[in-house]
Amino acid sequence: MLNRVAPEVGQWYRTERGALFEVVALDEEEGIVEIQYFDGTIEELDNETWYAQILQPQAEPEDWSGPFDDLVADDFGDTEQTRHPEERSNPLETLDWGEKES
């Protein structure tokens, strides 16, 4: 069975094996469909390969963390502590302005 779903930029699809991806670019002159899988992997397909697959259009996933699955909270730095704006340092105070001339 051949796929009769035309690629559409911004549309999400699921393969018959369950892989979820979005079409991110089309080059109609070259016949190339660029896709990005949910895990962040990018692949280029020619039109023949695109239409040889069995694809189902899907809604955009609500969970956007696919490309970031291997990250843990520590990778984002110290996100536990938040300071009140008045307690934060002013980055301009660290600049050396030199002495003012009179």
Query: pLDDT, tens digit, for every residue of 89-101?
Result: 777 777 777 766 6
Q: Looking at residue 101, what is its pLDDT?
A: 62
Helix (H) or strand (E) holding 26: strand 20-27
Give the tokens for residue 79: 């996100």
The answer to whether 34 and 44 have CB atoms below 8 angstroms apart is: yes
Local structure of residue 95 (DSSP, 8 states)? S
Q: Based on C-alpha coordinates, what's the Rg of the chain?
A: 24
The DSSP bridge partners found for residue 43 are: 35
Fold of 7-63: SH3 type barrels. (2.30.30)
Query: pLDDT, tens digit, for every residue of 18-71?
Result: 999 999 999 999 999 999 999 889 999 999 999 999 999 999 888 666 555 555
The answer to whether 48 and 7 have CB atoms below 8 angstroms apart is: no
Residue count (the chain): 102
Looking at the whole model, is its pTM more than 0.85?
A: no
